[in-house]
Amino acid sequence: MKRIALLGSTGSIGTQALQVVDSFPELFRVHSLSAHRQAAKLARQARHFLPAVVAISDESCYNELKAELSGLGIKILAGPDSLRELAADQETDIVLNSLVGFAGLAATLAALSAGNTLALANKESLVAGGHLAMRQAAEAGVNILPVDSEHSAIFQCIQGQQLDAVEKIVLTASGGPFFGRNLAFLQTVTPQDALKHPNWVMGAKITIDSATMMNKGLEVIEARWLFGLPYEKIDVVVHRESIVHSLVVYRDGAVLAQLGTPDMRVPIQYALTYPERLLGHAPRVCWNTLSPLNFAPPDKSNFPCLPLAYLAGAIGGSMPCVLNAANEEAVRLFLGGKASFLDIPRIIERVMNKHKVVTEPDFDTLHDVDKEARLLSQEYAKMKG
């Protein structure tokens, strides 16, 4: 029995992870669940899976959750620190971190320092604090198993291979809803337009990141840490159909790719059952009716978030944390109608330009840098043009 802590259980990854867990009752036991604010949904999940502990990070929802779960003997925690407690719980074998944003870093580090295996869907943890997370994982001797579909694909394609024979990894990108569009069009884009992703159903933040291509930028930095490769060895290709989930090019010229229908249950299940492969319920690729698979270079001039991420990664230190914080804030402002779609990269670039890089930042430094970058983003959003 693997005892699972599921952080962010009411989100898109969290609910799909619970479907996976539910199909293997003899294999998994849900030890803890957490949500930010969706108390009723969390309570429903808790009544079904009967975890030992649940946590709600927004304290104002504590009473609602407590009332919903009365009499069940489930321990209830509240507040942002409770996530660290769940992540570091010694009664847990594997922590699935599907929190959104920088807020996930503390839980990532807590899980690793407690020696818990980490299934990671929160890419922002590695973007902001990859150096800390990788060091922590090495010290504790535990695995970080990727849940992000591209990174899971690469992870699957390097099993049993020599890592030093990897010439390049190629992350595929759907291109989002605006691939092929020009600046005149992008100027008019509304949050409703940007929230319509062609292939994947995901949370709001990552869907906007897909539309700006920042999602791929964050994934490039995530890949750098997970696979220990320099940025020159990480490429991006637009692949509209989202059937090829990523590729690894070896030095003999062989290319290994992982394919499948776009269904997050596959990478989630692989992370939870690794190294085993068990029966999965994702629809199969139908080769007889499959539409042609297309590949194209990313449009870096109309979608500058991707080159900004490469730049932040190359600068290193605290800069990727700044990129991430400015992006989180710019996306929030865009969704709230306080910034335009094209303001997102503009805000990020200005905040990056202003930042004085700290090399080897510790957690507290990252925390301050994150906060500062968010405030600066709000200021820049107010100054138009």
Q: Which long-range contacts (CB under 8 A, 24 or more apart) does 88-93 make?
A: 88/113, 88/114, 88/116, 89/5, 89/31, 89/32, 89/53, 89/114, 89/116, 90/114, 91/3, 91/31, 91/52, 92/3, 92/4, 92/5, 92/31, 92/32, 92/116, 93/2, 93/3, 93/4, 93/117
Question: Which of residues 98 and 149 has its CB atom nearest to Mg ion in the complex?
Answer: 149
Size of the site for Mg ion (CB under 5 A): 3
Which of the stretches 70-78, 149-157, 333-341, 358-366 binds Mg ion when contact is defined by CB under 5 A? 149-157
Asked whether position 148 contacts Mg ion by CB under 5 A, the answer is yes
Check residue 358 and give left, alpha or beta (phi > 0: left; psi -120 to 50: alpha).
Answer: beta
Question: Which of residues 148 and 349 has its CB atom nearest to Mg ion in the complex?
Answer: 148
Question: Which of residues 153 and 373 has its CB atom nearest to Mg ion in the complex?
Answer: 153
Least distance from Mg ion to the Cβ atom of residue 323, Å = 17
Using CB atoms, what's the residue nearest to Mg ion? 148
Least distance from Mg ion to the Cβ atom of residue 50, Å = 32
Least distance from Mg ion to the Cβ atom of residue 210, Å = 8
Question: Which of residues 240 and 374 has its CB atom nearest to Mg ion in the complex?
Answer: 240
Contact map string, positions 10 to 49, toward Mg ion, x by CB under 5 A:
----------------------------------------
Query: Could you give the strand order of the β-sheet that contains 117-120, starting from the edge strand earlier in sequence?
Result: 75-78, 53-56, 28-35, 2-7, 94-97, 117-120, 144-146
Q: Which residues contact 104 (CB under 8 A, 6 or more apart)?
A: 7, 8, 97, 122, 124, 125
Least distance from Mg ion to the Cβ atom of residue 181, Å = 21
Least distance from Mg ion to the Cβ atom of residue 150, Å = 5
Question: Which of residues 121 and 249 has its CB atom nearest to Mg ion in the complex?
Answer: 121
Backbone angles phi and psi of 164, in degrees to 5:
-75, -5
Which of the stretches 145-153, 258-266, 323-331, 362-370 binds Mg ion when contact is defined by CB under 5 A? 145-153
Question: Which of residues 117 and 152 has its CB atom nearest to Mg ion in the complex?
Answer: 152
CA distances from 292 to 59, 171, 176, 197 (A): 50, 19, 18, 20
Q: Which residue has the tokens 């269904």?
A: 263
Question: Which of residues 57 and 172 has its CB atom nearest to Mg ion in the complex?
Answer: 172
Which of the stretches 1-9, 109-117, 147-155, 267-275 binds Mg ion when contact is defined by CB under 5 A? 147-155
- Footprint of Mg ion (CB under 5 A): 148-150
